[in-house]
Structure 1
């Protein structure tokens, strides 16, 4: 049996779920190597030969004989390769790219820091209220930008479901884990509902494993929070 063209290296994080969402939505065959952060597998020489930055996700495109890192570059490559979830019109492609970069440059970094200071720094002895307020408030502002954008439209860009939605969804939907309040943002919540209802997305959020604590306010997060804080304790600066 021949191997699929796409081999994915990923982990159960907001960035790590993005290519899984595309591959499941597109029905593209792939195989997967889960990366264990607790074993620093993303820092091994073999992995660094694929991504010198030592981060997930990464794909190997066997048909083209090359590796691609950075989630936005991966989704752009897959969308072009398989002709799905990216419009052909150049102006619409530009619109998709703009919102992808909005995620890469703003939503991911701000929500990531909100999560870091609350779930990694604080449990490891570095509680910084100013930093928490700063990143939670900026994350909230970005959710308002998305809410305004979605006024009168179902999808973020090009009037169709695209890789821009796939890029933004795992981060924005993790407002629960970032402790960002979005109850009063109806367009954003309607967008969440539309994507939540997609079976391929729900399947993707279980690969390589499910982390319901990111998305579900009713999930028991206590054990997961302790494990998460311990796993990344080495990232906390010591005085």
Structure 2
């Protein structure tokens, strides 16, 4: 059994979707970051960084934080959604790191400046508007002629998809990125993704672009 500590954010959704995809038994614990639950003594004992998500795997005794590290751990634990060797393995890790190092942080800043604090920092808004478009263009180019980010559905797709699901907050029209739109809808139709999107509790259905 895995205890899973999370909230309704893209980084949390990565792991809830992954746990559903891997078919691993888990219990979700809501860490309401809007109320400061991440700073409670009990949670800091699990994750001193005071971020979500985190897991405690009672089968192996491993406690782990950081969504990218958790995805790699679950893939290696189960032998699924990460090729064991060769170029496909390295490219899967490459695109996971692309999400961790660029796509996620940039879109998080876009949320902050362009949605939650619009008009307060015009320079930052323009900076992250341009960089958000650049990253979507990169993702769209990668998905040209591909069903998934690498050869098969993988932890890289699970990492990137939840961030794309916030396209409204990014002020992105997915019709401008047809390969991203196709890929996004393909994953959105997966039952595991739908279930994972409702963890730790249901807030709204999976967002769909206009015309769907």
Q: Same fold (TM over 0.5)?
A: yes
Q: Is the 8 A contact 2:5 2:28 kept in 1?
A: yes
**How many residues are treated as equivalent by the alignment?**
210
Q: Give the structure 1 partner of residue 193 of structure 2.
A: 201
1:134 aligns with 2:130: no
- The Cα shift of 1:214 comes to 8.1
Alpha-carbon distance in 1 for matches of 2:205, 2:21: 23
SS of residue in 2 equivalent to 1:42: helix
1:29-178 correspondence to structure 2 within 5 Å: 29-122=25-118, 127-157=120-150, 159-178=151-170
Runs of 5+ consecutive residues of structure 1 not aligned to the other structure? 219-239
- The Cα shift of 1:144 comes to 0.6
- The Cα shift of 1:142 comes to 0.5
Alpha-carbon distance in 2 for matches of 1:41, 1:146: 34
Q: Give the structure 2 partner of residue 187 of structure 1.
A: 179
Alpha-carbon distance in 1 for matches of 2:206, 2:81: 25
Runs of 5+ consecutive residues of structure 2 not aligned to the other structure? none
Alpha-carbon distance in 2 for matches of 1:127, 1:166: 33
Alpha-carbon distance in 1 for matches of 2:35, 2:164: 28
1:15 aligns with 2:7: no
Write out the 4+ residue segments of structure 1 that deviate beyond 2 Å after TM superposition: 118-122, 209-218
Q: Is the 8 A contact 2:194 2:206 kept in 1?
A: no
Alpha-carbon distance in 2 for matches of 1:109, 1:65: 30
Scaled by the length of structure 2, what TM-score is found?
A: 0.93
Alpha-carbon distance in 2 for matches of 1:196, 1:214: 7
Alpha-carbon distance in 1 for matches of 2:172, 2:78: 35
SS of residue in 1 equivalent to 2:46: coil
SS of residue in 1 equivalent to 2:183: helix
- The Cα shift of 1:211 comes to 4.0
- The Cα shift of 1:65 comes to 1.5
Q: Give the structure 2 partner of residue 222 of structure 1.
A: none
Q: Is the 8 A contact 1:72 1:104 kept in 2?
A: yes
- The Cα shift of 1:217 comes to 6.2
Alpha-carbon distance in 1 for matches of 2:185, 2:76: 27
Cα distance 1:213–1:132, how it changes in 2: closer, same or farther (>3 A)?
farther
Cα distance 1:198–1:102, how it changes in 2: closer, same or farther (>3 A)?
same
Greater Rg by CA: 1
